[in-house]
């Protein structure tokens, strides 16, 4: 999946001692790029023996480039994506995996404070509980993406981290296989995350997130804890919202205590009263005011949106965790109108023309696009729920706003 975050502190420290090493430039003749990368790797502590061992896999894979350019999964709506990924099989299997690994999860709760359903939901979405970890050689995938000019700095660091993992002996070259973007293990850690957050939880002296389920689960908990998971606090609650809610108060960039949401008429999903306390929460409307509604807490903001920056994925993972934890299915009242991929691109183009920061024009309704939509809705006197409609697109195309 798409989990791009901070680089390894160890790699940063290594740069300080290798001022003469220059990053290999992206693109261009591959042999020249590879020679420059080898010099950079040697300067950062990768041995010539490790490089020689990995050399047969350090080549370009055209299939990896095709896969990297064909990612449209997160252009799906939340209801569509969650309807496929957070139902039946994964809920039942998630509960079963918690029961089968009860001792491990009990220990994880003591050590890290992260609930079992949270970890299991990620486990389910990432690899179907370890059954589908990918079969692309990691070194080949990362070499391909590091040479490519789309995100070379990110993947050069991932390739260096993967070589360090190989050199440290936690994984063998044959074990280092995964999806096209170079993630590893049952929870799909990028190599820098593997290097920084993996733990040996089965006591065998190695951090093997591919073959050791205890290592994989505890490493996920360690990562969540390091991101800032708050022990004993919720992450996501489905709620009911009144028709006359001040919609401009919704969005993950706005927080109010639950007592304020209660005063505005927000209730629990079953219609009972919301806890009227000071716990801060944001109103998350993944498909606008006509779709399901959730209160999102600090754990959602701190962990889910850093684990994966896609709002659709993060919300689905958090929702699946609530289902595994025993909460009922979310309420969806009929078909919710949504823009197509091309219509969303057109909307992003119109917003960019007006000076909004929306990131890439890619048809994915991310946080930047939603923030811009909300502002445009307010200017046009529309309910500012941050979810685009055909009417909004039509008005923007006509020059409004």
Residue-wise pLDDT tens digits, 379-391: 999 999 999 999 9
Contact criterion met (CB below 8 Å) for 41 and 23: no
Alpha-carbon dihedral sign for residues 341, 343, 346, 348: negative
Supply the pTM of this predicted model. Answer: 0.89
Share of the chain above pLDDT 70, in %: 93
- Residue 14 pLDDT > 70, yes or no? no
Q: Which of 122, 116, 256 is CA-nearest to residue 188?
A: 122
- Written out in words, the top-level CATH class of the domain with range 9-69+133-227 is mainly alpha
Tokens for 60, please give them: 């370009």
Rounded Cα gap, residues 384 and 249, in angstroms: 8
Residue-wise pLDDT tens digits, 108-148: 999 999 999 999 999 999 999 999 999 999 999 999 999 99
Q: Cα-flanking dihedrals φ and ψ of residue 334, to 5°? A: 75, -170
Of the pLDDT bands very low, low, confident and very high (cuts 50, 70, 90), residue 400 is confident
Of the pLDDT bands very low, low, confident and very high (cuts 50, 70, 90), residue 333 is confident
In this structure, the number of other CB atoms found within 10 A of the CB of residue 187 comes to: 29
Residue-wise pLDDT tens digits, 202-228: 999 999 999 999 999 999 999 999 999
In this structure, the number of other CB atoms found within 10 A of the CB of residue 128 comes to: 14
In a 13 Å sphere around the CA of 330, the CA atoms on its Cβ side amount to 29
- Residue 18 pLDDT > 60, yes or no? no
Rounded Cα gap, residues 350 and 339, in angstroms: 14
Rounded Cα gap, residues 178 and 186, in angstroms: 10
What's the whole-number mean pLDDT along residues 69-86?
82
Contact criterion met (CB below 8 Å) for 185 and 36: no
């Amino acid at each position: 999946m798409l989990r791009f975050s901070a680089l390894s502190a160890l790699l940063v420290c290594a740069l300080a001692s290798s001022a003469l090493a220059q990053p290999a430039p992206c693109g261009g003749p591959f042999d020249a790029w590879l020679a420059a990368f080898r010099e950079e790797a040697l300067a950062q502590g990768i041995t010539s023996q490790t490089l020689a061992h990995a050399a047969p896999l350090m080549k370009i894979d055209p299939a990896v480039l095709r896969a990297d350019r064909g990612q449209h999964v997160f252009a799906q709506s939340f209801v569509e994506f969650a309807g496929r990924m957070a139902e039946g099989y994964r809920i039942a299997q998630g509960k079963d995996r918690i029961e089968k690994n009860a001792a491990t999860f009990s220990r994880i709760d003591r050590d890290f404070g992260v609930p079992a359903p949270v970890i299991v939901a990620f486990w389910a979405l990432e690899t179907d509980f370890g059954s589908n970890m990918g079969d692309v050689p990691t070194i080949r995938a990362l070499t391909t993406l590091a040479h490519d000019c789309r995100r070379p700095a990110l993947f050069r660091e991932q390739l260096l981290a993967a070589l360090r993992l190989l050199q440290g002996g936690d994984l063998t070259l044959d074990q280092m296989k995964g999806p096209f973007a170079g993630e590893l293990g049952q929870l799909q850690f990028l190599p820098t995350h593997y290097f920084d957050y993996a733990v040996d939880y089965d006591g065998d002296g190695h951090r093997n997130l591919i073959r050791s389920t205890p290592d994989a689960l505890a490493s996920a908990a360690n990562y969540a804890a390091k991101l800032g998971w708050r022990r004993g606090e919720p992450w996501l609650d489905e709620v009911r919202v009144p028709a006359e809610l001040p919609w401009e108060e919704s969005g993950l960039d706005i927080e109010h205590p639950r007592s304020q949401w209660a005063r505005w008429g927000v209730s629990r999903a079953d219609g009972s009263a919301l806890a009227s306390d000071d716990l801060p929460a944001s109103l998350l409307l993944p498909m606008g005011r006509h779709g399901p509604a959730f209160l999102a807490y600090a754990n959602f903001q701190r962990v889910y949106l850093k684990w994966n920056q896609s709002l659709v994925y993060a919300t689905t993972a958090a929702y699946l965790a609530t289902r595994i934890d025993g909460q009922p299915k979310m309420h969806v009242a009929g078909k919710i109108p949504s823009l197509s991929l091309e219509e969303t691109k057109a909307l992003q183009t119109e917003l960019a023309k007006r000076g909004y920061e929306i990131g890439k024009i890619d048809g994915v309704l991310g946080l930047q696009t939603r923030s811009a939509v909300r502002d445009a809705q307010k200017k046009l006197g529309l309910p500012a729920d941050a979810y685009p409609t055909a009417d909004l697109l039509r008005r923007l195309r006509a020059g409004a706003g």
